[in-house]
Structure 1
Amino acid sequence: MQQGTDPLVIDVDAELEATINEMESLHKEIAELDGANLMVDCQRSVVDSITSQFGILGVVANSQDGGNVTTEHNFKKGITANEQDQQRYDNYRDMNNGGFTSEVRRQKGYEAPKNAYRDKHVGDRKYVKDGYTGKRLHTDKTPVDVEHIVSAHEFESRADTNLFLSPQERVDLASSDDNLTPISFSANRSKGSKAFEPWAEQQRTDNGKTNAEHFGVNAELARAKDKKSRAEIEKAVRRGALKKYGKELLATGASDAAKTGYKTATGILMQRSASAIFNAFKRALKEGKNLSLRRKLALFKRYASEAFEQIKKDWKEIVDSSFEAGISAFLSNLLVFAINYFKTLFKKAVAIIRAGFQSLVKAVRLLMSPPEGMSKRDARYEAAKVFTAGVITASSLLLSESIAKLLQATPLIGPFFAIPTGEDSVIGDMVADALSLIIGGLASTVAVYFIDQIKNSTRKSELQIQLMAQGGVVINLKSIQSWQSLDNAYHHLFTTVGEMREDLSEKQQSIEKSKKQTDDAVTGFAAAVENFGKFD
């Protein structure tokens, strides 16, 4: 009797094999977690800091107080991003320190348009409407003057008009029909360069009246003119600010992006080339230890050539990294501008933001779009590592000033580090930035190592629990296998005994049949003998 294959046995065997394979995989993962080497990571970090930070150094070296674009907030403090804005600030400062004389007023071009307005709107007329009182002025009896509703001095002494409008734009705006109006000579001299509201409300010393009361000012009419004029000024300033900020942010951001992208690509190529040469040299020495120097050099050349061929194949990855670094530099320029719009960032703060922003972008990208096959939990860990490393590396730039001073104070080589490389920088500054980034790279490597250790410790605990659970599964599956074997043996014995009983029964029936046949034969023989006797 043939027994068929039991599906239950197949399922148990397959599950047991899968469980054992999973346990082997868990053991292997634990071994890999235990294999972290801090010293190797630190050695790699030094090389990476020298090479892959090449792009960061290019941007950091060009950092300046207030960033690349002069904001109005910084302009008021005299912090400017370029020579043109510095000239604008010099004018702003001079005009607020008594520099706006009648001669300067004439030189800047405010008098000619005012005289042209007088000729057009006053001329030889006998009567002229006063722009502040609304009354008619008899020109023969009352001297008439042309008033800048918003004074020329205010145009020259405001931070926003100096920063966002050119000298000619200020003159044109101040000399527009909306900002000029005929008033009495005495009122014009009384008002001078003051704004309308403070002048109108100012109390006079001769009669105790306000200027508005003394000169019969129609407050509603005058305020409407002042409001309209100022609205036009604000519109022009906003338009000028948008144009200036947009143009300069685009130009400086594109420049930073191009420089950072190029230097990042250069740094990656330097890092990979150095690694390729080192690995080729180490491999040639190891595999050719019993060979001649010539053969060793041939091996080195072959391995180095293979490595460089691989670098060529990775050009897309290098371009992607370069592009990402460029985008990060562009965005960091916007961030620095946004902060400086409200609060001044000095050179080191600007450098730290620029150096750390790329890590922030990478961390956010990991969180938003983890690589295929990476869990959200692992993505959070990797993002934390990238961000932590970036913050530490960027913050290490705070050490660069102290390092630069130390280098310049070093006997014999100090003068070398004091050689200028730009308007406000020396060789020592560049070397100090590089050394501080190396220190930051080492510190970030240690920090990342301990983050990995925390993660690995948690993961190892989970793996140990899984191993224990899988061990229980194995025991249960082994028990099931044992019971299945006993069950199969019982069924086999039962089947065999049954077959033996059937065979014995058949043989017993055969014997009984043979016995009956024998009995019948004996009976027949006896009857034949008896009949034979009767015959005699």
Structure 2
Amino acid sequence: MNESVERFRRKRAILAAAGLSPQHSVHLAPLTQAESVSACGLPAVLPGDVNQSFVAVDAEALLAEIHGKLDSEKIGALVDACQQECLQAIIRPLGLARALFNDKDGGNVDTVHNARNKVYATDAEREKYNEHTRSNEYNDKVSHQYHHNKGYTENNAKSSAAQKADGVVDAYTGKVLRRDDKKDQDHVVSGKEVHEDRGRVLAEVDGVALANSETNLKPTSRTLNRSKQDRTAENFIKYVEEVKIPNLQKDIAALEAKPSLTPDEQRILADHKRQLQEFQSLDKEKLRAADAAARKEINGKINKAYYTSKKFIKNTAVTSATEGGKMALQQAIGVLMEEFVRAAFAEVKDVWRNGFKGKVDDTFLDALKLRLMRVADRVQAKWKHAAVAFRDGFISGFLSNLITVVINAFVTTSARWVRITREGFMSLYRALKTLAFPPEGMSLAEAADAASKLMMAGVVTGGGILLEEIVEKKLQATALLAPIAPYVSAITVGVATGLCTVLAIHLLDRLDLFGVNAKIRHEHVMAKLDETISHSYTRAREAAAAFDPPPLLHLT
């Protein structure tokens, strides 16, 4: 380009010496076109020909022409990309995924959170809990174990000794319980709840020892303890406010409305007033704080026991490897199937244009064999791409399963979201790979631009998976389409997903967040201008050599 610029500068200097100035519009010269203008429309100006008109290039028209060609090329590429993305969407996330994956609510590994919500990844753990409830039901015998455990009796004896000495603070009211007050030792999280906790059973933690930790044992009045029973803190608060206090107030009002009371009624009235006072003195925040502390310790022990267990680690490793293998197959087979479909369509086009047989004397089987061999060669040539896709698919599938397990430790995911996580992570993996290890010659801005498009493709694919569920349900509601609903939804949504992917990527191109597209257009325009100038220069020298050598010696 530097040589072209230098030639342009020399020509400009000659024009200036001749007293001429560059034009920005086309002027027709009285001379013939062969005499006055080169093949590409650039002027052939002779030194000293001040009175001679010339033809100059319309810069804006030339740029418009170059940009128009570039835009037409982009439209062609956009159509090809639409075909490719539609094919990929149908074959990979919406086609092969159905055959390879059996997604279910909660993922492939049991978690404490999911078990407590009655969502199990394995039938073995579900049956294990069912057997626990059948053979180890919480009854008086089991309750006795929870209330006569060594930890319980020692803690109770300690608080009773403190009560006899200086009094002990009621954990739920903040008042001091004196020697004559009736005190109980309460399981903040009831023994029944701990015993029937699905998470505890999954983690195989001893319920008696867990329920009788010091944090879960609190002294309180007998009235509050025996009214609380196996209720949670919130349920107990609601019960006290909506049931106990209103009922006591009603009974007290009825007794006080009587003109006279029997000794039993007087005793009942006094007892009701004492209970009302105790229930009204319940400190909801203290109760909630005690409940939160107890649950934190219990959950911490259960989570630590389960998530560090060999059972969990083994299940996570096995399922992650399995999911990685399935994802690897999906990606590798997808590459080969996509090439097979493209090759097959290319053969169909060729048949349409040129006929089925290549030669007149070919038999049908010979022609068919030749075409099939061409398809097979194209598919075989993709084996390296398939190997790379297999590797990337395995890594992505393995990691996406780990992420799904982590998510399900806190939130139960639906089967559809498990699938979205898997397909979305594939796009995320590709984007991060592009950013971390960009291809040779790719700048950071170009890598960021490519990564943003990969992420956009992942987002659109996730939307396509959600849309597929809606479309499939609508089709299944129609008796005629119900048998083929999965296939129709996969194809239609696959096409829609592919088109949306390409349009979204085209939108990113238009936005040009990283300036990559502008740089490409600039380089394209400069290359075309360089080509035009070089071509004009060559033609000008050829014309000078043929017709009028002396005046154009300056071009050498």
TM-score scaled to structure 2, two decimals? 0.56
Residues 330 and 75 (structure 1), Cα distance of their counterparts in 2 relative to 1, 3 Å cut: same
Contact preservation (8 Å) 1:42, 1:442: yes
Counterpart of 1:443 (choices 500, 503, 513) is 500
Counterpart of 1:105 (choices 118, 128, 139) is 139
Pairing 1:380-419 to 2, within 5 Å after superposition: 380-414=448-482, 416-417=483-484
Counterpart of 2:207 (choices 170, 176, 185) is 170
How much does 1:206 deviate? Answer: 7.1
Report the 3-state secondary structure (helix = DSSP H, G, I; strand = E; otherwise coil) of the residue aligned with 1:134.
helix
Contact preservation (8 Å) 2:112, 2:303: no
| Other-structure match for 1:236 | 301
Report the 3-state secondary structure (helix = DSSP H, G, I; strand = E; otherwise coil) of the residue aligned with 1:371.
coil
Q: What do residues 158-192 of structure 1 show as CA deviations (whole Å, max 9, x unaligned)?
A: 56535x433x73245457999999x9999997986
Pairing 1:58-207 to 2, within 5 Å after superposition: 58=98, 62-69=102-109, 71-73=111-113, 77-83=117-123, 104-106=138-140, 109=142, 111=144, 130-134=157-161, 151-156=190-195, 160-162=199-201, 164-166=202-204, 169-171=206-208, 173-174=210-211
Write the distance in 1 (CA, Å) between the matches of 2:224 and 2:522.
Answer: 88
Contact preservation (8 Å) 1:355, 1:390: yes
Contact preservation (8 Å) 1:256, 1:329: yes
Q: Quick check: 1:260 aligned with 2:327?
A: yes
Write the distance in 2 (CA, Å) between the matches of 1:258 and 1:335.
Answer: 16
Contact preservation (8 Å) 1:366, 1:379: yes
Write the distance in 2 (CA, Å) between the matches of 1:447 and 1:71.
Answer: 37
Residues 413 and 103 (structure 1), Cα distance of their counterparts in 2 relative to 1, 3 Å cut: closer
Write the distance in 1 (CA, Å) between the matches of 2:80 and 2:3.
Answer: 45
How much does 1:460 deviate? Answer: 2.8
Write the distance in 1 (CA, Å) between the matches of 2:505 and 2:308.
Answer: 44
How much does 1:473 deviate? Answer: 9.3
Write the distance in 1 (CA, Å) between the matches of 2:329 and 2:118.
Answer: 33
Counterpart of 2:86 (choices 40, 46, 51) is 46
In our comparison, the structure showing a higher alpha carbon Rg is 1
Q: Which amino acid aligns with 1:464?
A: V
TM-score scaled to structure 1, two decimals? 0.58
Contact preservation (8 Å) 1:73, 1:344: yes
User: Among the aligned pairs, what percent are the same residue?
Assistant: 25
Counterpart of 1:279 (choices 346, 354, 370) is 346
How much does 1:440 deviate? Answer: 0.4
Report the 3-state secondary structure (helix = DSSP H, G, I; strand = E; otherwise coil) of the residue aligned with 2:161.
coil
How much does 1:282 deviate? Answer: 4.8
Contact preservation (8 Å) 1:55, 1:260: no
Q: What do residues 174-219 of structure 1 show as CA deviations (whole Å, max 9, x unaligned)?
A: 57999999x99999979865899x99xx9996757999xxxxxxxx
Counterpart of 2:440 (choices 364, 369, 372) is 372
How much does 1:391 deviate? Answer: 1.6
How much does 1:306 deviate? Answer: 5.1
Q: Which amino acid aligns with 2:435?
A: L
Write the distance in 2 (CA, Å) between the matches of 1:442 and 1:346.
Answer: 27
How much does 1:132 deviate? Answer: 2.1
Contact preservation (8 Å) 1:55, 1:261: no
Write the distance in 2 (CA, Å) between the matches of 1:59 and 1:400.
Answer: 15
How much does 1:363 deviate? Answer: 1.7
Contact preservation (8 Å) 2:200, 2:302: yes
Contact preservation (8 Å) 1:54, 1:264: no
Q: Which amino acid aligns with 2:307?
A: L
Report the 3-state secondary structure (helix = DSSP H, G, I; strand = E; otherwise coil) of the residue aligned with 2:160.
coil
Report the 3-state secondary structure (helix = DSSP H, G, I; strand = E; otherwise coil) of the residue aligned with 1:370.
coil
How much does 1:267 deviate? Answer: 2.6
Write the distance in 2 (CA, Å) between the matches of 1:180 and 1:195.
Answer: 14
Report the 3-state secondary structure (helix = DSSP H, G, I; strand = E; otherwise coil) of the residue aligned with 2:159.
coil
Report the 3-state secondary structure (helix = DSSP H, G, I; strand = E; otherwise coil) of the residue aligned with 2:139.
helix
Q: Which amino acid aligns with 2:138?
A: V
Q: What do residues 414-445 of structure 1 show as CA deviations (whole Å, max 9, x unaligned)?
A: 3x24xxxxxxxxxx346524532332012213
How much does 1:371 deviate? Answer: 1.1
Provide structure 1 residue ranges, at least 5 long, that are not aligned to the other structure. Answer: 1-10, 17-25, 123-127, 138-144, 212-225, 418-427, 491-536
Residues 227 and 325 (structure 1), Cα distance of their counterparts in 2 relative to 1, 3 Å cut: closer
Alpha-carbon RMSD across the aligned residues, in angstroms, is: 5.9
Pairing 1:490-529 to 2, within 5 Å after superposition: none
Report the 3-state secondary structure (helix = DSSP H, G, I; strand = E; otherwise coil) of the residue aligned with 1:133.
helix
Report the 3-state secondary structure (helix = DSSP H, G, I; strand = E; otherwise coil) of the residue aligned with 2:439.
coil
Contact preservation (8 Å) 2:203, 2:303: no
Write the distance in 2 (CA, Å) between the matches of 1:228 and 1:460.
Answer: 63
Contact preservation (8 Å) 1:173, 1:233: yes
How much does 1:472 deviate? Answer: 7.7
